[in-house]
Amino acid sequence: MDSVGVAAAAPDAGPGPAWQSKCPWGAPSTTSISCSLADVMSEQLAKELQLEEENAAFPEVVAAAEGPFITGENIDTSSDLMLAQMLQMEFDREYDAQLRREEKKINGDSKVSISFENYRKVHPYDSDSSEDEVDWQDTRHDPYRADKPTTTPRRGFIGKGKDITTKHDEVVCGRKNTARMENFAPEFQVGDGIGMDLKLSNQVFNALKQHAYSEERRSARLHEKKEHSTAEKAVDPKTRLLLYKMVNSGMLETITGCISTGKESVVFHAYGGKSATEDKVIPPECAIKVFKTTLNEFKNRDKYIKDDYRFKDRFSKLNPRKIIRMWAEKEMHNLTRMQNAGIPCPQVVILKKHVLVMSFIGQDQVPAPKLKDVTLSSEDMKKAYYQILNMMQQLYRECNLVHADLSEYNMLWHDGKVWLIDVSQSVEPTHPHGLEFLFRDCRNVSQFFQKGGVAEALNERELFNAVSGLNITADNEVDFQAEIEALEKMNEDHVQNHGKKLSTFSSDGDPPIYDE
Ligand code: ADP
Ligand code: MN
């Protein structure tokens, strides 16, 4: 790599710049870099430091060629290349981050700056950091629209006599070319021409256009590849890397295989390893829930999280990728609440980005069956029903949660009892749609047990009242639903007017207290 020119120009007395670092696989440099106040305040730097910290939590073992990923027994050498590529990817990203820091340091506040862009390893279109930024289309108004350049009418000229201007006029053409740059792909950086009377010659414009198109095609190809591999291997390379790290760090012994692929998540089974910290014990068997980073499926789940006041402030500032991490985070918090209340549910082991590791419900790699798939004796069926009634009450009263996707699909039968899973969408009862979600849960549970022959099973309205402690008296579905919505609206109005929630819905069987 020829970097003499730039290196010589750099008035840098600090440690050697990143491009001089030797072998990519060499020991990571631990030299600390002194930083200016500007650096300390820099958001960019903060992000990078966080990244480094996250990575430090999972020390990189480069020589992991024999590391068991899918199974510990068959050493799958085909994944060596994949692993190498992923580590290279990680390295490139770190290298670029370092490069950016040095670029910043060298340039300081100077008006003239040196760009290290060409030394970056990751193509700007693939760069990770761009994914964390808000899409520019959302934030940048279209600066070229403000003053439209003069266009020549159909007839090809304007003006009269010697003031005539044809469409071949250099100035008009130049302005027009500048304006036409807006047709380039949004990621194509055409520079900041706002407020300038930019006139691109046809030659320059055509060259730019050509470049923009080929870059666009290149980018499309790359994305296609990425997406394809997601479909093929169930998880994308970045997720694989996260999983590798968990195995390499010894936290997990082996990831044995996939238990379930849903629309929104993929669940793997793993044997637990050793925790880095003494006080934490990794369960012998773990379930790894990977929230899918393909965004489409999550769009219709907005309403769960957008209206959840716990996440409200954060929601508006987030891009879809972060929102998916938030689903995982939500599942973790909700599971912890349930665990604390003593509800049988998976125990959280660790959360890394969109990957949640929890204890495995089942044994010897065989997951516990869903309630919909087991045939229970009528005695067990009745037992399960009362247990669920109890759990729903605990969930509501002690955890202050409504499951919001409760059905025989998300309840497992294990060890002679029912375990609740899949709580990423669970909300608090005062969520604007919380009571509607609860009613839907009640309907599912009622119907399942009534069909299952449990004579004691309450109907959905009775169950709703029994769980919530509300006393809605409507004796038909429609009126009942209407009352639920009226309650929700009352609560929302209260929030609007008073900026706070009502003293939640009563938890001791009395009607709710509304202090109006
Ligand atoms: P989804 O949103 O895809 O429905 P779930 O959390 O319901 O996600 O998980 C999907 C499936 O994976 C479950 O139906 C269950 O069979 C299995 N599963 C999930 N978590 C565990 C766990 N902790 N132990 C055993 N199996 C699990
Ligand atoms: Mn589920």
What distance in Å separates the CA atoms of residue 227 and residue 353, rounded to the nearest whole number?
Answer: 19
Cα angle, residue 332 at apex, residues 83 and 484 outer, rounded to 5°: 135
Q: Does domain 369-501 match CATH 3.30.830.10?
A: no
Indicate if ligand 1 lies below 6 Å from the C-beta of 470: no
Of the ligands numbered here, which is closest to the C-alpha atom of 289?
A: 1
Query: Which of 235, 256, 259 to mutate to test ligand 1, by most ligand atoms within 8 A of the CB atom?
Result: 259
Pairing of strands 165-166, 157-158: antiparallel
Indicate if ligand 1 lies below 6 Å from the C-beta of 262: yes
Q: What is the mean pLDDT of residues 96-102?
A: 87
Q: Which residue shows structure tokens 């304007």?
A: 158
What distance in Å separates the CA atoms of residue 39 and residue 48, rounded to the nearest whole number?
Answer: 11
Indicate if ligand 1 lies below 6 Å from the C-beta of 367: yes
Task: For the domain covering 234-367, report its CATH number.
Answer: 3.30.200.20
What distance in Å separates the CA atoms of residue 419 and residue 428, rounded to the nearest whole number?
Answer: 20
CATH 3.30.200.20-classified regions of the chain: 234-367
Phi and psi, residue 374, nearest 5° = -100, 150
Which residue numbers are catalytic?
405
Q: Residue 16: pLDDT band by 50, 70, 90 thresholds? A: very low
Determine the 3-state secondary structure of 3 from DSSP.
coil
Q: 287-300: per-residue pLDDT in tens?
A: 999 998 765 545 55
User: In terms of C-beta density within 10 A (0-12 exposed, 13-18 middle, 19 or more buried), how is residue 249 classed?
Assistant: middle
Mean pLDDT, the chain, integer: 73
**By mean pLDDT, which of 136-140, 171-175, 330-334 is the weakest?**
136-140
Higher pLDDT among residues 141 and 331, named by residue: 331
Indicate if ligand 1 lies below 6 Å from the C-beta of 297: no
Cα angle, residue 34 at apex, residues 50 and 21 outer, rounded to 5°: 80
How many angstroms separate the alpha carbon of residue 405 from the centre of ligand 2?
Answer: 8
Q: 409-461: per-residue pLDDT in tens?
A: 999 999 999 999 999 999 999 999 999 999 999 999 999 999 999 999 999 99
How many angstroms separate the alpha carbon of residue 335 from the centre of ligand 2?
Answer: 14
At 251, list the tokens. Answer: 């936290």
Alpha helices in 192-319 (DSSP H): 202-233, 237-248, 302-306, 309-315
Q: What is the pTM of this model?
A: 0.60
Nearest CA to ligand 1 atom 6: 422
Q: Which residue, among 198, 268, 211, has the nearest Cα to 239 in the 3D structure?
A: 268
Indicate if ligand 1 lies below 6 Å from the C-beta of 408: no
CATH 1.10.510.10-classified regions of the chain: 369-501
Of the ligands numbered here, which is closest to the C-alpha atom of 412?
A: 1
